[in-house]
Each structure stands twice: as structure tokens, then as C-alpha cells.
Amino acid sequence: MTTKGENPVGRVDEDTIAAVATPAGSGGVGIVRVSGPDATRIVGEVVGKAALADRMLTYGVARDRQGERIDDVLAVVMRGPRSFTGEDVGEIHGHGGIVNMRRLLGAVLEAGAREAQAGEFTRRAFAHGRIDLTRAEAIAGVIEASSERAWRISQAQLEGRLGDRIRAARGQVVEVLAELEVQIDFPEEDVSVEGAGQLAAKAASVEAELEALAASFSAGKAIREGAEVALAGPVNAGKSSLLNALVGSERAIVAAEPGTTRDVVEARVEWDGIAVTLVDTAGERASGGEIERKGMEMGRRRAERADVELWVEPATEAQAAETPELGARQRLVLSKADLVAERPQVAGIVTSAETGEGLGELRRAVVEALTHQVKEADDGVVVTSDRQRRGIAGAAAALGRMRAQLTEGAPAEIAAIEANEASTKLAEVLGEDVGDEMLDDLFSRFCIGK
């Protein structure tokens, strides 16, 4: 048994832990959650009930050890293993409020619990086999979701869809490994095994699936965490007017005078369920004072790190004749279309902040740029953490090496090493055979009480 407060979040011991499970501040109801072998006794002691029926709300009056009344409450216990953590879990539901929650938690700690660390409830659910690591990360995703689409993906992952896909891929890898081990163990026996070519083909299929899954990370990250879209281009190109039109309100100053925007201006919108932060940067020109030059430099840096950069130029015939060279994450936007008589003959998105022309097309182009790699994103089969991406990509790389070795006629023992590496990588993504240090880091990012 460890001393109170000394238990690392990455390990599970016999302590009973407790924390406030609802957000801080005023609220109609606040919840203190308790988990561990003494959870039922502690909750019953605090609310004055010697016996609490399983999964039944019971009214009581919470008191501290000195008998002082704290609050009218409802209490419930959920005995393990049929609970979130797999242990005995108890909850005290009282009136919300910082002081009231602090007093209720204090009474629980006095009765023998210790205060939980960040993510420790979810850590225990994982340790007791209630969830795998992809579902644990999905819990954080649900809590932190900044858009409807991010919430839908996290809920699908919490249901287990990503984990199921990874388990299925691992099952195929294990089948390949089993065939290789038969060849290793019985090299001269008349055993029916697939040829090297067939094994290589099966490995190639799984490899391609894993590569596609790993590649979904950039889109998954944008959906889960939101994306940044920068508006860049020459002065008086209409960037600020375009930002205001996309947002639907005046967020950036618009004036005929060049160099009006000297600092970055941000506005948050939600497009197709994705949280997007629009960033208006200072217009580019050779002249200008020192402050304006610094603003341009800051704007360039911000545009360089944006997920998508919209290069905005006026849709005049003279400027439209010269299309700038753009990178993969850049899109050409031709503004002020209402001021030209003919449509520009250039491959760009033609827009007008005045009439609204092209704004819908521009939104769709940005969403497509962020999610074009993901066809099943809303089904939850998308990678949303770099930890997942590294593991899945590592498994795909190991299968690629194994496939090459089988094609070149390498011994089965050599190919089996790579197959085992691929299986291990996928197991780590699910949370099997991972070290405490990694778990400590992952669960420490969770909120306390979850």
C-alpha cells in the first residue's frame, strides 16, 4: 500500500480514490465519484446509510466526521466488476458549487479515500480490462470535442470501431505469423501451408490498409482538435472583407487604405462539423513602415504553420493572368468578382464578399483539403492521436519489410521477426504490453475526476 498522494497515475493499487467528477463552478448538481475496495463503505458512512442497494439512488444527508451537516444528497453505488472502473464505484450527488463540492469531497477523504490524480478513474478502467487504449483516448476526445464532427468520431471510437479495425488487422498478421512458424517448426514435414507469394500478398493487403489508416491522422487531428486556415496575399486583395463574409459578422477592419491589417485577426467558425479558426494576415507589399513590415513577417509565419493557406488575389484580368506557384496545402482564391465583367480564366475559387459568390465553394474546398484522406471519418475509423499513428505506421513498415523478404526468398525465421514486430506494434496501440511511463504520460492529460 502506498502513502496517500504518492500513487503514480500509471499504476493501480489497492487505494480507494475520490474526486469531483463535474466541472468547477456553480451548477444545479455536482458529483463526487469514489472508486476502490472501500467505495461502498465510504459513501454509506458519509451519507449516513449502513447499507446501500446496488445501482439504486438513495436519499441521505451528507455529514463530515464531526457530524456537521453538509448537504442533502443522493447516493448510488455500483459494485464491480459491472462498473466503469471495474471496481466498486460510488457517487454522491449534491448541489453544485465550489464550496459545497469541496466540503463533500473533504468528507469522503476523511472517511478513508485519497484524492484521485488526473485520469486515474479511466486508468483503472483500462487496467481492469473494461476498455482498451483507443477507447480510453476516445473518452478524452468526447470531453474535449470542439465540434459536432469531433464529438461523433470520438463517440464512434468509444463504441470500439477503431479498436475493432486494429484488432482485425492484427488477427490477419497473426495468421501470417502462424503460417511462418509452421514452416519454421516443420520444415521437412508434409504440412499444408501457403506459399511465400500468397503470404506476401496477404501481408501487402494488410500493409495497405494500415498505411491508409495511419494517413488518416492529419484529417483526424484536424477534426478532433480543429484546424487553422490563413488568408494571405497582397494588400487590398480583399482578405479582411472575405473573412468577414465567411464569418457572417465584422471581425476585421476593412478600408481602402493599403496596410489596414497590421496584426493577425482571428475568427472561429464551424464548417461541416469541423472547428476552423480563420486567420487574416497583413497584406504583402514592398513598401510600408517598420510596424507594417513586422506585421507582414508575423503573418507569413502564421500562414506557414496553418493547416490550409488561402492565397487571395483580386479577380482582375491583369492579376488573374499570373497564377502564383502554390504548395499542396495552399489554395488560390480570386476575390472581388463583383468588380470584373468576365470570369477570370485561371484555376482558382472565384469569390465576392459583396454578393456571396463562391463562399460555399470555398468552404467546401477547405473541408475537402482537411479531410480528403478520410472516407470513413464519421464512422470513427480514423486515427486521432499521434501515438496511434506511430504504432500503426510502424506495423505497416514491418509488414513491408516482411513482404520484401518473402519475395526475395529470405528464410521464414527472418520474415517471422518482422511479422511479430507488426503484431506487437498493433498490440501496443490497443494498450497491450505497454509500459507504465507511456501510460503515465497519456492519462496525466485527462481531467481529474475522469
Residues 6 or more apart in contact with residue 341 via CB below 8 angstroms? none
- What is the pLDDT at residue 281? 85
The Cα 160–Cα 153 span in angstroms is 11
The distance from CA 104 to its chain's CA centroid, rounded to whole angstroms, is: 33
The Cα 177–Cα 93 span in angstroms is 52
Residues 6 or more apart in contact with residue 19 via CB below 8 angstroms? 32, 33, 105, 115, 116, 120, 121, 448, 449
Give the torsion sign (CA, 120, 123, 124, 130): positive
Check: CB of residue 228 under 8 Å from CB of residue 383: no
Check: CB of residue 174 under 8 Å from CB of residue 432: no
- What is the pLDDT at residue 50? 86
The Cα 135–Cα 153 span in angstroms is 11
Q: Where are the domains of the chain?
A: 17-132, 140-216+380-430, 223-371
Q: What DSSP character marks residue 54?
A: B
CATH number belonging to domain 140-216+380-430? 1.20.120.430
Check: CB of residue 234 under 8 Å from CB of residue 284: yes
| pLDDT tens, N- to C-terminus, the chain (450 residues) | 333 444 444 455 679 999 999 988 888 999 999 999 999 999 999 999 988 999 999 999 999 999 999 999 999 999 999 999 999 999 999 999 999 999 999 999 999 999 999 999 999 999 999 999 999 999 999 988 888 888 888 999 999 999 999 999 999 999 999 988 888 877 664 444 457 788 889 999 999 999 999 988 988 888 888 889 999 888 888 888 899 999 886 544 444 444 444 457 888 898 888 889 999 887 665 555 565 566 667 767 888 888 899 999 888 754 544 556 788 888 999 998 888 877 777 778 999 999 999 999 999 999 888 876 555 455 658 898 999 999 999 999 999 999 999 888 888 899 999 999 999 999 999 998 777 887 888 888 887 777
Q: Look at the domain 17-132 and name its fold.
A: Gyrase A; domain 2 (3.30.1360)
CATH number belonging to domain 223-371? 3.40.50.300
- What is the pLDDT at residue 404? 92
Give the residue from 187, 278, 181, 267 showing the smallest Cα distance to 228: 278
Give the torsion sign (CA, 154, 158, 164, 166): positive
Cis peptide bond N-terminal to 81, omega within 30:
yes
The Cα 270–Cα 227 span in angstroms is 10
The distance from CA 24 to its chain's CA centroid, rounded to whole angstroms, is: 23
- What is the pLDDT at residue 2? 37
Give the torsion sign (CA, 91, 92, 94, 96): negative
- What is the pLDDT at residue 379? 61
pTM: 0.75
Give the residue from 390, 313, 385, 355 showing the smallest Cα distance to 135: 385
The Cα 190–Cα 194 span in angstroms is 12
